[in-house]
Structure 1
Amino acid sequence: MQSPRRVRELGVVVGTLPTGPLNAITDVPGVRVGQTTITGDGLNTGVTAIVPDGWAQTLPAAVAVGNGYGKLVGSTQVDELGVIETPILLTGTLSTFRVADALLTWLLDRDPKATSLNPVVGETNDGHLSDIRRRPITPEAVHAALDTASAGLVEEGCAGAGTGTCALGFKAGIGTASRTTPAGQTVGVLVQANFSGLLTVLGRPVPAQPIDADGNSCMIVVATDLPLDSRQLGRLARRAIFAMGRVGSDYAPGSGDYAIAFTTARTPDFPDRDLRTPFQAVTESVEEALLNSLTMARTTTGHQARTAHAVPHDLIVQRPL
């Protein structure tokens, strides 16, 4: 039995930019993450909440869609206005709307005068390992994820919205990573990995038996404190989806591949000519976060006795040429 370990602990170093102190999305100042995990009785699912400080006053944001076979509640208003005005939540496909409703209740409780709110909720299909038709996410589960959000190290692998997900032939889940720029600013990402393809580590394939899963998708949340506007954040979000190809995604036709990027900096002031380093930061972070989602996961048996196996770490370390 192997213990979950991040890819850097296995000697796999992605890219050249330095990481933040936690190598996590929470390295971005003012960004917190909370999760609720639900397991047992045929269930492997949950909620992951990304809670930036200042969301109630809106933050610049953008959405990128690689393949739109999925649900990202609230995305059209983000596209239209270029801001988010709520935390961002992730869950399993058929629980999306229950989570959005519970988030709305949480928001209304905090603003008794609100008459219009735009909850942002994304999903991937965890029906391979969880009885997805039961839609087990309760308002209490959603509120717990929001209320316990912290700026500490994010639990990866079989946690929150990643409890029942699989990717690249193995058990996957939540992953996170970050990079810092020479000017001391940070790009951090969190992924909910649940997509098909051939696992590739630093350009080398890792053969795997494919999992016959019902859903193939990936949700990517990109946070930064760089003073970017919504157009520039859209460019960052597109690079996040590009980075899925680095780990072997086949971008299957049944996959919903989305990225949402936001900044905690309220006043945009960043020249396009200087975007090379942020682009590098987001692609490196997404690549490493996706690998972490795999190496931090545990072998899981769930609904209808289906099993998804954790990737053997020796395959990661001893990659074939």
Structure 2
Amino acid sequence: MEKGKLNAITDIEGVAVGHVTLGGPIEGEDFRCTGVTAILPHGGNLFEEKVPAASFVLNGFGKTAGLVQVEELGVIESPIMLTNTFSVGAVLEGTIRHMLGENPAIGDSSSSLNVVVGECNDSYLNSMRRMAVRPEHAEEAIRSAAPGAFAQGAVGAGKGMICYGAKGGVGSSSRLARHAGRTFTVGTLVLTNFGRGHECLFPGWVTPEEPAPETPVAESGGSTSDQDDKRPDGSVIIVVATDAPLDSRQLGRLAKRAAIGLGRTGTHIHNGSGDIIISFSAAQTVPHGGEEPTCTREVMKDDHPVMNDLFQAAIESTEEAILQSLLHAETTSGRKGRLVKKAVFESNPLA
């Protein structure tokens, strides 16, 4: 399908992306190799003007925050935040702080707040136990979020991620669906941290060498371990955005199609992988509160041919976003002297 101008999630008008990237040694063999990525569905007040949303859990080995309420009420009312597994709490706190600053009524004269945070396990490269990400990093990522082109690869939440045995991270892509003189865009952003090298199906893919086990080192008690270099099964967070006027139920259907795009890259979804998809529509907002008991919104017809095109757009943009995360990421070093190399292709996989 035809790609958007930026070939990114920010091809949807109003959507903005921001990163905070943390890297460098801490002490001893510990290393910061992590970060935060913020996705803003529009440039206004997200609590006062919510967006229709849904989620789909393909494999639930994850520690996300906020998806229970998204599924119950069908809206998102905060930035969508991405980080590492042990930093969900800190990012949640920082995002709440930001939202409270914008909305004095939250938790006082108005309702509470539901913040959405997704995560992947970056503990192979990042000393995750040190919890380097703090609430202020989440606030900074939100403040830095901007429309237009944005950095991809080993940045923000993607700094320490591994995909198919090579360096992964943040990737994005978009597709256009045209019908009856109207153009609808589907854009996807992924955080890739999954798969084994031999599974990847991208054209020209060169399977990375598996890392040699580290030499066991005797500790004070005399114990040794030959499992120290084992990489976790990984995860992927997929965020699908559109400017098509879809309601929450339809966005759930769109999210399921993104799982097909993930599968087309080769992964068979490992036992310990958290594969979670979040979808939203920026076509129109849902106002918070007010005196009127009803509101009127445009909604796409389920039986119109454009729905099939939107499904295809979600599949294609997800598949390419995963590829873009590999193409943009650079060789990255992390804790214990570990190194994850940039992906290698024998030929251009986009040709």
TM-score, scaled relative to structure 2: 0.83
The whole-number CA distance in structure 2 between the counterparts of 1:317 and 1:19 is 16
The whole-number CA distance in structure 2 between the counterparts of 1:184 and 1:276 is 14
Paired position in structure 1 for 2:14: 30
Is 1:193 paired with 2:192?
Answer: yes
Paired position in structure 2 for 1:11: none
- Per-residue CA deviation, residues 211-262 of structure 1 (Å, 9 max, x unaligned), is 6422410000011110001011001111112211111112000000000000
Paired position in structure 2 for 1:264: 282
Tell which deviates more after alignment, 174-183 or 307-316: 307-316
Whether contact under 8 Å (2:333, 2:340) holds in the other structure is yes
Paired position in structure 1 for 2:64: 72
The whole-number CA distance in structure 2 between the counterparts of 1:210 and 1:164 is 17
SS in 2 for 1:184: strand
- Per-residue CA deviation, residues 143-181 of structure 1 (Å, 9 max, x unaligned), is 111001111212111100000000111111100000111
Aligned pairs (5 A) from 1:283-294:
283-294=315-326
CA 1:226 to 1:123, structure 2 compared with 1: closer, same or farther past 3 Å? Answer: same
Stretches of 4+ aligned residues off by more than 4 angstroms: 315-319
**1:58 CA displacement:** 1.0
**1:205 CA displacement:** 6.0
CA 1:313 to 1:146, structure 2 compared with 1: closer, same or farther past 3 Å? Answer: same
**1:136 CA displacement:** 0.7
**1:268 CA displacement:** 4.1
The whole-number CA distance in structure 2 between the counterparts of 1:61 and 1:51 is 13
Whether contact under 8 Å (1:168, 1:248) holds in the other structure is no
**1:314 CA displacement:** 2.7
- Per-residue CA deviation, residues 113-157 of structure 1 (Å, 9 max, x unaligned), is 111000000000011110000111122211111001111212111
Paired position in structure 1 for 2:342: 310
Which amino acid is 1:137 matched to? V
Which amino acid is 1:255 matched to? S
The whole-number CA distance in structure 1 between the counterparts of 2:325 and 2:40 is 20
Gaps of 5+ in 2: 26-30, 212-229, 285-296
Structure with greater helix share of residues: 1
The whole-number CA distance in structure 2 between the counterparts of 1:77 and 1:318 is 38
SS in 2 for 1:137: coil
Whether contact under 8 Å (1:226, 1:265) holds in the other structure is yes
Aligned pairs (5 A) from 1:37-56:
37-41=21-25, 42-53=31-42, 54=44, 55-56=46-47
The whole-number CA distance in structure 1 between the counterparts of 2:135 and 2:3 is 35
Larger Rg: 2
Whether contact under 8 Å (1:63, 1:78) holds in the other structure is yes
Paired position in structure 1 for 2:225: none
The whole-number CA distance in structure 1 between the counterparts of 2:105 and 2:350 is 58
The whole-number CA distance in structure 1 between the counterparts of 2:101 and 2:56 is 30
RMSD: 1.7
SS in 1 for 2:56: strand
Whether contact under 8 Å (1:201, 1:316) holds in the other structure is no
Gaps of 5+ in 1: 1-16
Percent identity between the aligned chains? Answer: 43
CA 1:256 to 1:124, structure 2 compared with 1: closer, same or farther past 3 Å? Answer: same
Which amino acid is 2:7 matched to? N
SS in 1 for 2:54: strand
Paired position in structure 2 for 1:13: none
Is 1:120 paired with 2:116?
Answer: yes
**1:208 CA displacement:** 3.2
Which amino acid is 1:82 matched to? G
Which amino acid is 1:199 matched to? C
SS in 2 for 1:158: coil
**1:71 CA displacement:** 1.4
CA 1:216 to 1:187, structure 2 compared with 1: closer, same or farther past 3 Å? Answer: same
SS in 1 for 2:346: helix
TM-score, scaled relative to structure 1: 0.90
The whole-number CA distance in structure 1 between the counterparts of 2:70 and 2:283 is 17
**1:30 CA displacement:** 0.8
CA 1:259 to 1:180, structure 2 compared with 1: closer, same or farther past 3 Å? Answer: same
Paired position in structure 1 for 2:239: 221
Whether contact under 8 Å (1:28, 1:224) holds in the other structure is yes
SS in 1 for 2:2: coil
The whole-number CA distance in structure 2 between the counterparts of 1:94 and 1:43 is 13
The whole-number CA distance in structure 1 between the counterparts of 2:348 and 2:237 is 23
Is 1:109 paired with 2:98?
Answer: no
Tell which deviates more after alignment, 212-221 or 106-115: 212-221
